[in-house]
Amino acid sequence: MTLEELQAKHEESLKELAAATDDAAREQLRIKYLGRNGLLPAIVKGFKDLPKEDRPAFGKITGQWRQELESALAGTGGVAAAPKGPAFDPSLPGRWTRPGAKSPISRVMEETAAIFARLGFSVEDGPDIENKFNNFTALNTPAHHPSMDPSDTLWLTDDLLLRTQTSPVQIRTMTANKPPVRIITPGRTYRRDTTDATHSANFHQIEGLYVDIKPVSLADLKSTLTYYAHEMMGPRCKAIRFRPHFFPFTEPSVEVDFQCHVCGGKGCRVCKQSGWIEVAGAGLVDPRVYRFVGYDPEKVWGFAFGMGVERIAMIKYGIPDIRWLYENDVSFLNQMA
Ligand code: PHE
């Protein structure tokens, strides 16, 4: 076939198309030109016998021709015609996606990390499955301590357990790094508790640790946590207080109360009229802990603290029952958006 013959066939088909006024005639044309044994597939098949330099011209004409026929014959042979009119209907209602909300637990952990980042603390992670050394021994917990009893700790083997606190990350971090270290660790912890309004066998803590090669005192701990309390709980929480306590891995040890963020310390229902809310355990790192991680207790100083994430979330957002944090009740979660 020559180029002239091709063009002649093309024009002939357009005349036939103009003459085909009913569907049956148009279907005949579709079969004649576009069908499996139609003219266009035959022409394309013949391309390989054409001289190389003629192929582009043939290809171009045949391609356009096919498009003309296809759009003119759309709707025949069972092929649905494209609907007339604009493809986009602006009067239809939009598809609405309900925005999700972050769990209060994630919020508290992320906000806390952001606040401590401003003080130069980085976030350190640790595994939920710990060994006895990191969770107890190196934290100066004596072998007879009741917290190691199977009625309190979820043991997996003689040596492995689900960590009962985030404090083992102190050990991991100091063992792997020279001082100074300045870290916080938000994470899951586990205790053999029965669930009620304020207890859950799986809960979350945020550990903090600052150890330096220059003196660090309780005053540093107090100023650090005062800043955190104010940033986290809002402008009415202006102070914290220490009460003497005991932890095996800190000396001295304290319990930390935040000034009530609801009444500003005057006394209200939230703080049970005391003006203070218990939030954290803390203290100066015990010299024995430094020995376990290979630090010289004469040359380093530091403080550590640990806080319950659920507890902070509950007082901050006024959540009366810890179970609400785990039940994924949509009417509760929607309020967090
Ligand atoms: N790990 C302690 C607890 O779970 C909290 C704590 C951390 C106390 C760091 C002192 C220093 O109760």
Residues 36 and 131 in one domain: no
In this structure, the residue with its CA closest to atom 5 of ligand 1 is 306
User: Is-contact 289 321, C-beta < 8 A?
Assistant: no
User: Best mutation site among 153, 181, 247 for ligand 1, i.e. most ligand atoms within 8 A of its Cβ?
Assistant: 247
Residue 263 and residue 236 in contact, taking contact as beta carbons nearer than 8 Å:
yes
Shared-domain flag, residues 276 and 203: yes
Report the separation in Å between the CA atom of 323 and the middle of ligand 1, taken as the mean of its atom positions: 23
Q: Whose CA is nearest to atom 7 of ligand 1?
A: 306
Residue 7 tokens, joined: 């063009």
301-332 burial, b at 16+ Cβ within 10 Å, e below that, comes to bbbbbbbbbbbbbbbbeebeebebbeeeeeee
Q: How much is the pLDDT for 81?
A: 58
Test site for ligand 1: of 165, 173, 289, most ligand atoms within 8 A of the Cβ: 165
Ligand 1 atom index nearest CA of 307: 5
Mean pLDDT: which of 17-21, 49-53, 91-95, 130-134 is highest? 130-134
Dump pLDDT digits (tens) for 192-204.
988 888 889 999 9
Shared-domain flag, residues 181 and 52: no
Both 14 and 116 in one domain: the answer is: no
Joined tokens for residue 16? 């036939």
Task: Judge whether 85 lies within some domain.
Answer: no
The Å distance, Cα 44 to ligand 1 centre, comes to 80
Whether 150 maps to a domain, the answer reads yes
Would residue 78 count as lying in a domain? no
- Ligand 1, atom 2, residue with closest C-alpha: 306
Whether residue 222 is predicted with pLDDT greater than 90 in this model: the reply is yes
Most informative mutation of 124, 167, 253 for ligand 1 (most atoms within 8 A of CB):
167
Residues 64 and 212 in one domain: no
**Rounded to the nearest whole angstrom, what is the distance from the C-alpha of residue 235 to the centroid of ligand 1?**
26
Ligand 1 atom, smallest distance to 166 CA: 1
- How close is the Cα of 21 to the center of ligand 1, in Å? 88
Which of residues 56, 73, 90 is at a domain's end? 73
Distance between Cα 195 and ligand 1 center (Å)? 21
User: Looking at residue 39, what is its pLDDT?
Assistant: 87
**Residue 117 counted as domain residue:** yes
Q: What is the pLDDT of residues 155-182, one digit of tens each?
A: 999 999 999 999 999 999 999 999 999 9
Evaluate whether residue 96 is within a structural domain: no
Average pLDDT, the chain: 91
Is the same domain home to 158 and 304?
Answer: yes
Residues 252 and 209 in one domain: yes
Instruction: Answer positive or negative: Cα dihedral of 168, 174, 177, 180.
Output: positive
Q: Is residue 92 part of a domain?
A: no
Is the pLDDT at 183 greater than 80? The verdict is yes
- My answer on whether 13 and 109 are in the same domain is no
- What would the pLDDT profile of 52-89 be if each residue is shown by its tens digit? 888 888 888 888 888 888 888 876 655 555 666 777 88
Asked whether residue 109 falls in the same domain as residue 41, the answer is: no
Establish if 141 belongs to a structural domain. Answer: yes
- Rounded CA-CA distance 125/188 in Å is 10
Closest ligand 1 atom number to CA of residue 281: 8
Range of the domain at 147: 104-336
Residue 94 has pLDDT above 90, yes or no: no
Ligand 1 pocket, residues with Cβ under 6 angstroms: 165, 167, 207, 247, 250, 281-283, 304-306
**CA 189 to centroid of ligand 1, rounded, Å:** 12
Q: CA–CA separation, 233 vs 59, rounded Å?
A: 74
Q: How far is the CA of 136 from the centre of ligand 1 (A)?
A: 12
The rounded Å distance from CA 112 to ligand 1 centre is 17
Domain count, the chain: 2
Q: Which atom of ligand 1 is nearest to the CA of 280?
A: 5
Determine the pLDDT at residue 156. Answer: 97
Q: Which atom of ligand 1 is nearest to the CA of 189?
A: 4
pLDDT for residue 77: 54
Say yes or no: 35 and 145 in one domain.
Answer: no
Tell me, yes or no, whether 24 and 156 share the same domain. no
Q: Residue 82 CB: number of other CB atoms within 10 A?
A: 10
- Judging by beta carbons within 10 Å of its beta carbon (0-12, 13-18, 19+), is residue 73 exposed, middle or buried? buried
